[in-house]
Chains A and B, each alone.
Chain A
Amino acid sequence: MNNDAINDMNSLNLSSLPPLDPPPALWASIRSELDQRQTARRHRRGTFSASAVAAVAVAVLAVVINLVHQPNLSPGPDSTSILAMSADESALIQARQVSALLEASLRRQNLGAVNTVSVESLVWLENELGWLDTRLASNPNDLDLWQQRNQLLNEMNRLYGQSSWQAQMQHASLQQL
């Protein structure tokens, strides 16, 4: 006889114990929890949908802005075609290229620290830039807007550069100490 069989023979007759009735209020408690969880799930789903819509909107906007601001990657226009273009068109192309260069420079500057004096100006400039970009999205060929954009980017580059220089000076003076 193996151990399991011995165990089985020694078992108590526990199944003879009477079944028990659950408390009457238990179902109400379960139903209440189910309702709460269902409400929470619906709320989460609603929040998720809103977030998804917002994310899609942001993505679409980013693509549009990127397309508008993308520097001309195709081979530059040759001299004859430039001559054929109007002065406004060439100025527009030039403004876009300058804008792309300034943005690339700004991306590099952005990694550095900024002092508190410049932060206020930068926030204002970024707000202005956002407003300009919104207008450029609907008027991508407006030369005046592109030029204003370039001025803003230039100013931002200057502020970031200044902060970076000050930070380097502070770092150098601390090292001397």
Chain B
Amino acid sequence: MDFSTPLDDISLAALKKDCRRTQEKVYRMFSPAAWTLAVRLCGCDAQAWDAVQAGFVRAFERAGQVRQADRFGAWLKRIVINQVMDLNRHRFEPLPENDNALETTKPFNHEILDLEKALDRLESMDRTVLWLHDAEGMTHGEIAELVGQTVSWSKSRLSRARARIRPSLEDTGHEPVVKVMPR
């Protein structure tokens, strides 16, 4: 199940009444998607835990704001992303002026390189932009709005994140799959 799984009207009504059993049911429905998203964006379980916990608590407390039950998943996804953003906000640094700076920071361990680990080793903002764009299918406009930056900033971050992750994958024989994302 992912964030697109629709929630039924009865469950939404029960959520609005703070029904703990329904909250648990909804948590079971969406927690794998929320957890995967948070871990991919944060790069560590501890931060992902905080983000998912805060995200579900916020979503359950504000369930009254949701008008359409089938939009609950998308709404929850947005909340979890915002929670990760809040956790990471203080760590987000501006882009370095030159590419060399990127290449010299955080050297990869060639023995453990695969896509997942390479992703974890990216800077938090690079990883966030890369994941939101390539895995979640978000547009640069949506990413820019979430992060509070410009569209060109998002494009630039994505380009650098890919440039940084790709050589590591090629070194280990992991060929990045060229894929056209749906718009």
Q: Which residues of A contact B (CB under 8 A)?
A: 3-4, 7-17, 19-23, 26-27, 29-31, 33-34, 37-38
Contact = CB atoms under 8 A, between A and B. Distances in A.
Contacts of B45: 23
A23 B36 CA distance: 11
Interface of B: 2, 18, 20, 23-24, 27-28, 31-36, 39-40, 45, 49, 52-53, 56-57, 60-61, 115-116, 119, 130-131, 133-135, 140, 155, 158-159, 162, 165-166, 169, 176-181, 183
B18 A20 contact: no
A33 B53 contact: yes
A21 B135 CA distance: 17
Given A19-B32, A19-B36, A30-B53, A14 B60 contact: no
A12 B61 contact: no
Contacts of A27: 24, 27-28, 31
B32 A22 contact: yes
17 contacts: A8-B181, A10-B162, A11-B178, A12-B162, A14-B40, A14-B115, A14-B119, A22-B31, A22-B52, A26-B35, A27-B27, A27-B31, A31-B24, A33-B53, A34-B23, A34-B60, A34-B61
Contacts of A29: 49, 53
B133 A11 contact: yes
A12 B115 contact: yes
B20 A34 contact: yes
A111 to B, nearest CB: 47
Nearest to A3: B155
A14 B32 contact: no
A26 B53 contact: yes
Contacts, number: 97
SS class, residues of chain A in contact with chain B: helix
A20 B178 CA distance: 24
A43 to B, nearest CB: 16
B177 A16 contact: yes
A11 B182 CA distance: 11
Contacts of B34: 22
A21 B32 contact: yes
A21 B20 contact: no
B161 to A, nearest CB: 9
Nearest to A5: B180
Nearest to B33: A19
B149 to A, nearest CB: 16
Given A14-B130, A19-B32, 5 more contacts: A7-B133, A12-B176, A14-B115, A20-B32, A34-B20
B35 A22 contact: yes
A13 B169 CA distance: 12
Contacts of A4: 140, 183
Contacts of B31: 22, 26-27
A34 B119 CA distance: 33
Contact of B131 (A7, A9, A14): A14
Nearest to A32: B53
Given A7-B158, A33-B53, A34-B20, A14 B134 contact: yes
B36 A15 contact: no
